[in-house]
Structure 1
């Protein structure tokens, strides 16, 4: 079991070292292709019938989540094979897939790519480049955003995606490790993390409250909320412990809970709120999604607006919290 912890440490190191090389096929891309193909079929054969759209969405979510988890379990079992060749190859695949499920390097690089062109003096072309980079990582319309709006968007998406892309996967990997302590025939870390990534991808692709997606994506969105519920609250509790304001943790957590709970999302509001209040950055306000204005609760009301320095502080805090979580996983593993 201690080898499994070493496996996790290696996976995190690989993620920070190389991230997700664009020349290699990412598992999420494969999941995305299947989701898109299935969605088109559901829309074609349901012919706008709400009941059929709901049932189609339920089947889509169930099948993709089960297939993803089962794929992880098969790779896990092959890694335990008595055949050295099969075991070695499967263990390598297992390592790479776990590494690819933790998007720390990818999140940091994406955020820095957005702010770099406008970090100091910038031209119209620079801000256009920032808008284009930003459109790759956020759902809001970016074509007319000004510099300050771009910076706020980066701060918000870094705070939200820290849970979705890093700490929720780490949590489910840990759950898989605990399952393997009971029996190696049970689903393990890869099974659980691929199940989470499947639900997260479904939510990000079709979890919108518009058109037919309101019904097709309903089950996937709810499942993602459920699977992110505990990790987001663990981030709420633990982030103050690695920030300079750890002695004020109870007060900060209480304030972040009050502000974040006003968001319609049961999870993203809390993750943004704790980063806003721990790192003293004002977030929230008016955004435009697909031409429609949407107002998000104001977070960290009395703090300064986001700037390039505060965004880098968010990234550094994510690294610190990732190390802290890893230490907790090691301690719990050794004590059970």
Structure 2
């Protein structure tokens, strides 16, 4: 089967089903792999070498994940139709398109029903900031930021590495690159913190995620602006805010998606927030042309869909050209 059809089947499963509930999810396996290697490689008190051991830990997790992905595809090749099933499932499980909307829709639903406490509770399940003191615009702003940032991390970056892997190594390369990226992303989410425990040990994992997301974040921001223009949003305003504010974040990549969404929707995102009752200053992204409203969460879903569709169209065309 043509790989575009394989990817199409994976995308269709994600659209219809979301996260593969009830089935073994590879991200859960990566999390267990992270904890396994952390147990053996985290430096003991007074041992030192945190960054060196953290780099070894990062490499061990990546090698383990790629080895398991390769073994899965090798075992599948022993059965008729096995490679097709495994490839479709692994690509489907790597995507977080439907789940990103599923996780943020309850926030909008609660706000439409006038239940701010329920909205704060739903938001607390998808963000790291304190939500108990946020007003309605603050809840909407945080939800839109989550959608904008994870549009890149959870969907567009995965598709970028699927395409890159296919160009480099065919179908097996696409699956391997996708899960290599997912491993790096999971590492960053679990150990990429600047706290006492992970500042040194998680340094390599955090920097790897920054490097891998560098191109996808910038491409994703551009594609989002173009997709928004196709939907009738102000293209030039989106492009202007994107170019102006895409570096307004401590992360070198996070503000690219957020600035595109902010410019297209006419919102101001970012700003300071409380984490563990400690206020953290952050720069603003976008202009406050109006107050955020619950409908902006649904608008962000549509903008996410359009961005992913345009990205798929572009990468799919490149894959078809390669197969020709």
Give, in angstroms, the shift of residue 256 of structure 1.
1.6
Q: Aligned to 2:44, which of 37, 43, 46?
A: 46
Tell me how far apart the structure 1 counterparts of residues 113 and 233 of structure 2 sit (CA, whole Å): 34
Instruction: Choose 95-104 or 69-78, whichever is displaced more.
Output: 69-78
Give, in angstroms, the shift of residue 50 of structure 1.
4.0
TM-aligned CA distance change 1:152 to 1:61, over 3 Å: same
Tell me how far apart the structure 1 counterparts of residues 44 and 264 of structure 2 sit (CA, whole Å): 47
Instruction: Choose 320-329 or 253-262, whichever is displaced more.
Output: 253-262
2:219 aligned with 1:234: yes
Q: 1:69 corresponds to which residue?
A: 66
Which structure 2 residues correspond to residues 298-313 of structure 1 after superposition, within 5 A? 298-313=284-299
Determine if contact 1:252/1:274 at 8 Å carries over to the other structure: yes
Give, in angstroms, the shift of residue 324 of structure 1.
1.2
Tell me how far apart the structure 1 counterparts of residues 40 and 91 of structure 2 sit (CA, whole Å): 31
2:197 aligned with 1:212: yes
> Unmatched 5+ residue regions in structure 1?
none
Q: 2:158 corresponds to which residue?
A: 169
Determine if contact 2:37/2:61 at 8 Å carries over to the other structure: no
2:179 aligned with 1:197: no
Tell me how far apart the structure 2 counterparts of residues 247 and 109 of structure 1 sit (CA, whole Å): 24
- SS of the residue corresponding to residue 271 of structure 2 reads strand
Give, in angstroms, the shift of residue 57 of structure 1.
1.3
Q: Aligned to 1:292, which of 278, 281, 290?
A: 278
2:98 aligned with 1:105: yes
Q: Aligned to 2:54, which of 52, 57, 62?
A: 57
Give, in angstroms, the shift of residue 164 of structure 1.
0.4
Which structure 2 residues correspond to residues 1-336 of structure 1 after superposition, within 5 A? 3-43=2-42, 45-51=43-49, 53-79=50-76, 81=77, 83=78, 86-122=79-115, 127-181=116-170, 187-244=172-229, 249=235, 252-336=238-322
1:124-176: CA deviation from partner (whole Å, max 9, x where unpaired): xxx33322322221111223333222211101111001000000000000111
Give, in angstroms, the shift of residue 218 of structure 1.
0.6
Determine if contact 2:270/2:284 at 8 Å carries over to the other structure: yes
Determine if contact 1:42/1:56 at 8 Å carries over to the other structure: yes
TM-aligned CA distance change 1:305 to 1:206, over 3 Å: farther
Cα RMSD for the two superposed structures:
2.1
Give, in angstroms, the shift of residue 94 of structure 1.
2.0
1:260-304: CA deviation from partner (whole Å, max 9, x where unpaired): 213111100111111110222221112112332112211122322
Q: Return the TM-score normalized by structure 2.
A: 0.91
Determine if contact 1:252/1:277 at 8 Å carries over to the other structure: yes
Tell me how far apart the structure 2 counterparts of residues 207 and 87 of structure 1 sit (CA, whole Å): 41
Instruction: Choose 152-161 or 272-281, whichever is displaced more.
Output: 272-281
Give, in angstroms, the shift of residue 29 of structure 1.
1.0
Give, in angstroms, the shift of residue 305 of structure 1.
3.0
Tell me how far apart the structure 2 counterparts of residues 107 and 248 of structure 1 sit (CA, whole Å): 25
- SS of the residue corresponding to residue 111 of structure 1 reads helix
1:310-331: CA deviation from partner (whole Å, max 9, x where unpaired): 1111111111111111111222
TM-aligned CA distance change 1:178 to 1:267, over 3 Å: same
Determine if contact 1:176/1:191 at 8 Å carries over to the other structure: yes
Determine if contact 2:237/2:264 at 8 Å carries over to the other structure: no
